[in-house]
Amino acid sequence: MKKIISLLTDFGTFYPAIMKGVIFKINPDVEIIDITHSVNRIKEGAFLLRSCINYFPDGTIFVVVVDPGVGSRRNILIVEGKIDNSPKILIGPDNGILSLAIAEMDSYKVYQAFNKKYFLKDVSRSFHGRDIFAPIAAHISKGVSIDEIGKTCSKFEKLDIFLKINSREIIGEVLYIDDFGDIITSIPNNLINDIKTVEFNDRKINIYDTYSDVKKGDLLVLKGSHGRVELAMNAGNAAKFLGIDIEDKVTLKVINAYS
C-alpha cells in the first residue's frame, strides 16, 4: 500500500507544486493529497488539521506549513502519535499549528528535526516547505526512522483557543469560515444542547438541525459537523452578512432555553 503525504499550507497555487516535485524525486511511489493551500492564519490551519486528521488512513504523514516565523530560530517538529489507535505523523513549525491535532491523540512523541542530511543541500531562509518539510516527509515515507532525523523534545507551542461561559452567555472565537460563508466557532456543540434561541449582535437567531429548516436568506445557529457551533445563512454568506472574520470574538446570549 502506498504511503500518503498530505499537504496543508498557506502557499497558494504555485509553491505546493515545487514541494511535490521534491517529494517525488525522493520517493516517486508516494501518494500526495492536498488538504488546502489557502490557509490565512495559524489558528485556521490548526483547526483544519484537527478536523480532518481522523479521516485519513493509518500512517498518513501530514505536512503543515503556515509559518510566519520561517527563517527564524523556531523549531521544526515531527510528531508521531495515534488517534483511535490509528498511527499518524505530523510535520510542521513549532508555532502552535500542530497543537490541536496533538490534543486529539491518545499517545504521541514529539521530535525536533535537526539532521541536515535529510534536508535539501541549500536551505533558503524563506522556503522551508521546499527545503526541509517536504524532504523530511519524503524520507519518512521511504522508511527512514524519525529517530535519525530528530531528537525527542518535551515542550512545544500550544494555541490558546478562546472560550468563556457565563450564566446567560457563551463567548467564543471564530476558528474558520468556509467557502459558503459559514462561521465555525470555538464553542463545543454540547454547550447549546438545552438552548432554542440566542442573541448575536442584537439579532435573535434560532438553533436548528440543518440549513433547510429556515427560509433562504435567514440566519441560523447549528451544531456543526466538526463538533463546533456554527453561525450560518441558508443559501447565503453569513460571514459577509454579519461582517465576521477569523479570530473575531462571538457572544451568544441565551434568551430561550428548553425547560
Helix (H) or strand (E) holding 49: helix 42-52
Same domain (yes/no): 59, 139 = yes
Residue 79 within a domain: yes
pLDDT of residue 259: 58
Q: How many domains does the chain have?
A: 2
Closest among 86, 84, 87, 42 to 64, alpha carbons compared: 42
CA-to-CA separations, 98 to 126, 213, 242, 259, in angstroms, rounded:
20, 36, 30, 40
Write the pLDDT tens digit of every residue in 55-66. Answer: 999 999 999 999
Instruction: Examine the domain organization and report whether 145 and 169 are in the same domain.
Output: no
- pLDDT for 193: 94
Q: What is the pLDDT of residues 136-192, one digit of tens each?
A: 999 999 999 999 999 999 999 999 999 999 989 999 999 999 999 999 999 999 999
**Tell me, what CATH number does 181's domain have?**
2.40.30.90
28 in a structural domain: yes
Q: Does residue 135 lie within any of the structural domains?
A: yes
144 and 171 inside one domain? no
pTM for the whole structure: 0.95
Do 138 and 10 fall into the same domain?
Answer: yes
Contacts of 225 (CB under 8 A, 6+ apart): none
Let me know: does 251 contact 170? Beta carbons within 8 Å. Answer: yes
What is the pLDDT at residue 256?
84
Does residue 158 form part of some domain?
Answer: no
Residue range(s) defining the domain that contains residue 101: 4-152
User: Phi/psi class of residue 54: alpha, beta or left (left: φ > 0; alpha: ψ in -120 to 50)?
Assistant: alpha
The three cell numbers of residue 160 are 490558546
Q: Is residue 157 part of a domain?
A: no
